[in-house]
Amino acid sequence: MGEFVTLEVEDGIGTIRLTRPPMNALNLQVQSELGEAAAAASADPAVAAVIVYGGEKVFAAGADIKQMQQMSYADMATAAGGLQGFTRALAAVPKPTVAAITGYALGGGCEVALACDFRIAAQDAKLGQPEILLGIIPGAGGTQRLARLVGPARAKEIVYSGRFVDAAEALAIGLVDKVVPADQVYAAARDWMSRFVGGPALALRAAKEAIDKGLDSDLQTGLEIERMLFSGLFATEDRQAGMDSFVEKGPGKATFTGR
């Protein structure tokens, strides 16, 4: 994989690991490598679920400000598509994803976490969108995904102030889904994603697509998206296996093949 981002696959779980010491700053190379890792995880049939992890000390402390400092409007107008591209790639992974957050998830780091389906945070983790303190706004999806997750008023307060949100508050407002001791973050993420290994991959993909696309649409359009995806699953072997198993053995005993 890349110099700073790798994809490690073990027991059906793909771990996208950031390793750019000391703070996993998201320079243009890291952004590109994150997008490539997300695409690789999406395409690999051995990957049933994905963890995004920055290591034991820090998730990602945001963009590389030194790299951005000298960029002109013309430079950023060209680069901004790529800035959103890597978080779009993460959000588009057609499998369950979780951000395993230790230390700081700030700016672009928070936006990486927001692009995942779920977020597990260490008890001492800090999240935030402090771009306003640099005279800019979040540019990798933060204004949009944060507002959809915690509501517009809370998102505005966090973005307008640039403040850090601790793990307890993040859990209370729905910014993260689970808080665990710092030394248990990755293990908790693996435990959560392991429940999807051996699951009905096409149904999980359809569920994610229906929810995500439905949220970007009006209710009637969302219902139509659900109808089409629901109907399409009747062409899968997993649907037949799941229903046959239910009738013969009861719920929760089916063996799925992902086809």
Q: Is 54 helix (H, G, I), strand (E, B) or coil?
A: coil
Task: Give yes or no: 111 in active site.
Answer: yes
Task: Give yes or no: 33 in active site.
Answer: no
Residue 68 CB-density burial (10 A; 0-12 exposed, 13-18 middle, 19+ buried) = middle
Report the C-alpha gap between 64 and 239 in whole angstroms: 46
Report the C-alpha gap between 194 and 196 in whole angstroms: 5
Which residues neighbour 72 within 8 Å (Cβ) at sequence distance 6 or greater?
none
Q: How many Å separate Cα 34 from the centre of its chain?
A: 11
Q: Which of 153, 109, 149 lies closest to 131 in space, CA to CA? A: 109
Catalytic-role residue among 3, 111, 169, 237: 111
Other residues' Cβ atoms within 10 Å of the Cβ of residue 192: 19
Answer for the pair 130, 159: CB distance below 8 angstroms, yes or no. Answer: no
Answer for the pair 152, 210: CB distance below 8 angstroms, yes or no. Answer: no
Catalytic-role residue among 36, 131, 224, 226: 131
How many Cα atoms sit within 13 Å of 66 on the Cβ side? Answer: 1
Tokens at residue 80, please?
A: 């901004």
As annotated, the active-site residues are 111, 131
